[in-house]
Amino acid sequence: MEENAKGGREAQGQNGCNHQRPGDCRLPMNRDPRVTSADDVTQPKPKGNCVIDKGHKDGQTTLNVCTYNTRTLKTDELQNFKWDIIGLCETKREGEGVVELQGGAWLYNQGKTEDNKDAKGIGFLIHPKFKDFVKGMKCHSNRVISVTVQLTGNKQLRIVQVYAPTSEYDDEAVEEVYEEIAKAIEESEAEYTIVMGDFNAKIGSYQPGEESIMGKFGIGERNDRGDMLLEFAAQQGLVIANTYFKKNKNRYWTWESPGGSLKPN
């Protein structure tokens, strides 16, 4: 992570950014107590626009977004892949706020507090080279948070990070989370939206007639929570994006037991 952070710091506001519209990325002073202002972290003034693009022509760059169920905040694995914004689940970190980590990355965490002792921890890691383009971060609940990023052409991207209840909770708790996600999407003025995280659901394999919701590269059997997820995606006009890409077999599962002896089917 240290190596990535240093490289990002050198690129901040320069390589990969367009200098035609300086000042687009200043963070708003939001008085909503649920909103954590990133102004709390020392940072230089914005120097340009962030651009999502497939290539690197004309100073443009690719924005690498992913989600990671970290189960405590250990970031050693981040050295092995490209990342710019990571949505985190199960950070097991207490409190809410933004801190600047060694190496320059921002960590926004919504964790356990005196008023909410059930929270397992959810958050974002923001790479140093994209910190200037964060417009704001918001906590919708202890299971749903979002970050808004300024793009080129005065467009914005909102990323909604979700940590859905496990099977220990009833369906009503899951439905409440989906209602919070829907509100986060509805209130956003961003042109682009990504909803990601740990939904604790198995959507299984593609079934005929589902081409508008998911691709043909799911795996296994669907459970009841998977049905709920697909129904929600259809209602919101979302797609299960990772099912549209064929992957190696070892990429079809995202969890294993300690030692690797057990993996999901």
For 232, half-sphere exposure in the C-beta direction (CA atoms, 13 angstrom radius) is: 23
Question: In this structure, is residue 206 part of a structural domain?
Answer: no
> How much is the average pLDDT of 160-187?
95
Q: How high does pLDDT run on average in the chain?
A: 75
Distance of alpha carbon 188 from alpha carbon 36, whole angstroms: 17
Number of Cβ within 10 Å of residue 220's Cβ equals 14
Question: In this structure, is residue 221 part of a structural domain?
Answer: no
Residues of the chain with pLDDT > 70: what percent? 68
| Alpha helices (H) along the chain | 2-11, 171-186, 224-236
Question: In this structure, is residue 109 part of a structural domain?
Answer: yes
Q: What is the side-by-side strand order in the sheet with 106-110?
A: 65-69, 85-89, 122-126, 106-110, 96-100
Question: In this structure, is residue 43 part of a structural domain?
Answer: yes
Distance of alpha carbon 130 from alpha carbon 49, whole angstroms: 10
pTM assigned to the model: 0.74
Q: Which range, 5-14, 91-100, 144-153, has the best average confidence (pLDDT)?
A: 144-153
Least trusted range by pLDDT, from 24-33, 83-92, 189-198 = 24-33
Distance of alpha carbon 96 from alpha carbon 92, whole angstroms: 12
- Helices 171-186 and 224-236: angle between axes, nearest 10 degrees: 20
> How much is the average pLDDT of 232-257?
83
Question: In this structure, is residue 212 part of a structural domain?
Answer: no
pLDDT of amino acid 137: 92
**Counted domains in the chain:** 1
Least trusted range by pLDDT, from 44-53, 168-177, 219-228 = 44-53
Query: Which CATH number is 10's domain given?
Result: 3.60.10
Whole domain around residue 118: which residue ranges?
A: 2-200
Residues of the chain with pLDDT > 90: what percent? 43
